[in-house]
A and B are shown apart, each in its own frame.
Chain A
Amino acid sequence: MRIAGLIVAVLGWLVAVLSTQVPGTGAQIAVALLGFVVACVGIIGILNQHHLRNAIWKSR
């Protein structure tokens, strides 16, 4: 899960960077925004879930 979260975060960055290759500014904004959101999902949605599963307060 840790690695998966980090990989998704990096993939999000890659999507955002690929917006430079998309024609049209509107499409570029959409793709860059998508990349930003994917990177956030990698951290908040995947990586953090791993840490919450093993959270210290669950065992006390």
Chain B
Amino acid sequence: MLIRINKLRFAIAIALTAAFVGGWMLPVLALAADKPAAAAAPITTADLKAISGPTTDQLAAGDPGGTLTGSVNDIVVADSKKGLTLADLVNMVGQNRIAINIVWTLITGYLVMFMQAGFAAVETGLCRAKNANHTMMMNFMVYGFGLFAYWVMGFALQQGGCAPIANLGGLNPLNHEFAVNFLGGKPWGLFGLKGFFLSGTTYDVGIMVMFLFQMVFMDTATTIVTGAAAERWKFVAFAISTFCLGAVTYPLYGNWAWGGGWLSQLGVNYGLGHGYCDFAGSGVVHAVGGMTALAVSMIIGARIGKYNRDGTPNPMPGHDITMVLIGCFILAFGWFGFNPGSTLGASGAGNLRIGSIAVNTMLAGATGSFSAILYMWIRFGKPDASMSGNGLLAGLVAITAPSGFVNTVGAAIIGFAAGMLVCLSVEFVERVMKIDDPVGAISVHGTCGLWGVLSVGLFADGTSNYGGSWNGVNGSVTGLFYGDPGQFVAQLIGGATLVGIVFTLSYLFNWAVDGIVGQRVSAASELEGLDLPEMGALGYPEFQLVTPGLGRSIEIAGR
């Protein structure tokens, strides 16, 4: 009996072993025996005609499972008499790719537009209550003034020679870039010449999408300045200054970086990596706004009471920290449009990297706020709320240029450094330069924007592949730490252009505005608060506002 059981166990063990080994080996043997697969027969129009979709009766019954909706019936045919052809199918695939990209770009553009609300909340919250209406109105009207300037001429100067942009169908009417030969006889694109008023051949579906997306970016740059100059900027001067920025200064740098201009061609012309790379605008948007904010702040001077006669600064806390932090969250949300949207598409040409870009964005923002709060906690003994918000924004600003080219470790480092940098920069601007910046815009957007520009040249890891090339140079953008020092040179030149040219242009424009209408309100208006003198209405009409330190109480009730 025992022997029979052992035999049975042995037989089972043999059978199991054979089944196990056979399970692995059989497919291998089968593969070895396989002959090369015959090439698939190309699809023909006859094949397409054999495909049938759900019938009208089936569709009339409803489709709760979603298995019938979207079928061969939904492919648009060019000629109903011929029926579905291969050309119809191929055209549909092409149009679907562009449709995905257009919808993606529009939706991310809408997110960026909503960032205006975030900026308005941050800047108004960081200002005193007596200037709430004025600060909010600057943030509100910057949208209209900037948009108008950009439609009239800004877009044409920036993108008038940017074609082709394959992700949006080519944008082929944008084909005229003004260039001069410079340094070694190389062509230097300076500005575009197509698209004024979006008229003529630029009345094009793809160009409209491009305009919307680029316009909200420009608007972000213009709204940076209103924060730095808040609480003493004359409204009419703000309006003219915003027009100049939206019509000329911003578009010029935008052209050099994104419109096929000379910075983007540093790789093609001089072998410097892939030319100046600024994926979503640390330089084009934030540093341009920051440099202009610096120029205006210098010209306009500090608020009354900000500095003592010996030059020591006085704190002037904002009136609503909850508004500030909610604004920061709105901005962080909008940044998911800013950075991932800058692929200008989600389909084809490496655009699926949008997931990586979004993660880089959230990581850098988080590490930025973390390092800023750490700095403030160690240095001043308390975790400062407004600087935590600025740290978040600093990280987001810094990752904007490299977001499409770096990995998550690089993004975390860039954000962390930006959080520290913004704290140091705020102190430097306030205590050493003695420039009054109520919201820290110069440091958040100027300093950290420049850091973002340079960080591309350091941390780009050479894994991105947007259609196989960038700025006309084949291969992936690679920074100094990953083996391409030339990219860092290109980024340094881009940074020097921001400081040397963009600042100078902004300064000259605003110097002229100062001479024509005056940049600064009267001392009496400033002390009273700008809501009534400049806007004619108070932000908080039922409150009694007291200005700390000045011993002035502004009676509001009954006015």
**Residue B489 at the chain A interface, CB threshold 8 Å:** yes
Per-residue interface assignment for chain A, residues 12 to 25, with 1 indicating a CB less than 8 Å from any chain B CB and 0 otherwise: 11111111110001
Shortest Cβ distance from A26 into B: residue:
B485
How many angstroms between the C-alpha atoms of A56 and B435 in the bound complex? 11
**Residue B348 at the chain A interface, CB threshold 8 Å:** no
Task: Select which of A13, A20, A51 is within 8 A of B500 by beta carbon.
Answer: A13
Chain B residues near A43 (CB-CB < 8 A): 294, 499, 503
Shortest Cβ distance from B271 into A: residue:
A20
Q: Does A12 contact B499, Cβ atoms closer than 8 Å?
A: yes
Q: How far is the CB of A48 from chain B (nearest CB, A)?
A: 6
Chain B residues near A25 (CB-CB < 8 A): 485-486, 489
Task: Select which of A10, A15, A21, A32 is within 8 A of B504 by beta carbon.
Answer: A10
Task: Select which of B298, B309, B492 is within 8 A of A48 by beta carbon.
Answer: B298
Q: Does B433 contact A16, Cβ atoms closer than 8 Å?
A: no
Q: How large is the interface on B (under 10, 10 to 19, 20 to 34, 35 or more residues)?
A: 35 or more
Q: Does A36 contact B492, Cβ atoms closer than 8 Å?
A: yes
Chain B residues near A29 (CB-CB < 8 A): 485, 488-489, 492
**Residue B304 at the chain A interface, CB threshold 8 Å:** yes
How many angstroms between the C-alpha atoms of A2 and B495 in the bound complex? 22
Chain A residues near B302 (CB-CB < 8 A): 55-57
Q: How far is the CB of B523 from chain A (nearest CB, A)?
A: 9
Q: How far is the CB of B478 from chain A (nearest CB, A)?
A: 13
Chain A residues near B304 (CB-CB < 8 A): 56-57, 60
Chain B residues near A18 (CB-CB < 8 A): 183
Per-residue interface assignment for chain B, residues 295 to 321, with 1 indicating a CB less than 8 Å from any chain A CB and 0 otherwise: 000110110101111010000000000
Q: How far is the CB of A22 from chain B (nearest CB, A)?
A: 9
Chain A residues near B301 (CB-CB < 8 A): 51, 55-56
Chain A residues near B307 (CB-CB < 8 A): 55, 57
Chain A residues near B299 (CB-CB < 8 A): 51
Per-residue interface assignment for chain A, residues 29 to 47, with 1 indicating a CB less than 8 Å from any chain B CB and 0 otherwise: 1001101100110111001
**Residue B507 at the chain A interface, CB threshold 8 Å:** yes
Q: How far is the CB of B323 from chain A (nearest CB, A)?
A: 28
Q: Does A12 contact B500, Cβ atoms closer than 8 Å?
A: yes
How many angstroms between the C-alpha atoms of A18 and B492 in the bound complex? 12
Chain B residues near A33 (CB-CB < 8 A): 492
Q: Does A60 contact B507, Cβ atoms closer than 8 Å?
A: no
Q: Does A17 contact B496, Cβ atoms closer than 8 Å?
A: yes
Given contacts A35-B492, A36-B496, A48-B298, 8 further A-B contacts (CB under 8 A): A9-B504, A12-B496, A17-B497, A29-B485, A32-B496, A42-B500, A43-B499, A52-B434
Chosen A-B contacts, 23 in total, with CB atoms closer than 8 Å, are: A10-B501, A13-B497, A13-B501, A15-B496, A16-B500, A17-B496, A18-B183, A19-B489, A20-B183, A20-B266, A20-B269, A25-B489, A26-B485, A29-B489, A32-B496, A36-B496, A43-B503, A48-B298, A51-B298, A51-B299, A52-B434, A56-B301, A60-B309
Q: Which residues of B contact A (CB under 8 A)?
A: 183-184, 266, 269-270, 272, 294, 298-299, 301-302, 304, 306-309, 311, 433-435, 485-486, 488-489, 492-493, 495-497, 499-501, 503-504, 507-508, 511
Q: Which residues of A contact B (CB under 8 A)?
A: 2, 6, 9-21, 25-26, 28-29, 32-33, 35-36, 39-40, 42-44, 47-48, 51-52, 55-58, 60
